[in-house]
Structure 1
Amino acid sequence: MKKRIDLTGRQFNDLTVLSKAGIKERGRFWNVKCVCGKEFMIEQSLLKNGVIKDCGHESLTQTVKKKKSKKASNGTGYVGVTKNELKSGTRYKANISVKGKNKHLGTFLTLEEAIAARQEAEEKYR
């Protein structure tokens, strides 16, 4: 018969084992606490093999950072505002999609004006 291992108090990545949760059809389960403070139950094999490293707070943080990061595709970093280089200088176009149709909001001399127009349209159409 296999010797049962007590994981209580052990650290696995960002997770600390609090207590044994019991045995279910898929295997042994443990109550763990993440460094962020969230407590949950996890299967022993997922814990020991490093499949689950935290409660998911890291991916949420990455998602928030990704949403706040500059979008390189349009050159301005703002959704619905694009930069146009012309012989007469740089202009900024503001657009918004309303019910599947693209609506041109105007062409502006400054990025701030284009952003303001876009935000105003978001309030109006949403």
Structure 2
Amino acid sequence: MTGYAGRKRKKTDHSAATITYWRCRCECGREIIAAQPELQNGDTQSCGCLQKDHAREALKLVDGTSVALLERNQKLRSSNTSGCTGVTYDKRTGKWMAYINFKKKRYWLGRYADQKDAVKVRKAAEEIHEDFLDWYYRTYPAAEAQKE
């Protein structure tokens, strides 16, 4: 935040405390209203543009692919019933569907009567990730050193 202008006191419904709100101008030029305690403890540092920048930086897109998402061992979502990311059950057809997301595209790998077949196809498709990571670390050796 670059500057503060105009202040307004407001008593919140759920608290006896009166909170002071400030009209602030972000470094990007946008104006926001921020609560004084959040400004003082550093919780509000921008209008939200910093969060977008940090998210972009964390993704590290290379050739349209997020290296960070490929590297980490992702936990299965609690709603996952197949036991494998990228394999879902289609109630309408009664079959298991396999897919993989890579380079900003979703690739459908087919529908299978048996869950094990869908998982097998998905695991085979994950080899693409290994090949991509091998290429990435050969091309950018400093990135692998940074990872560790």
Q: TM-score range by the shorter chain?
A: 0.3 to 0.5
TM-score (norm 2): 0.39
Higher strand share: 1
Higher helix share: 2
Q: Which has the larger radius of gyration?
A: 1
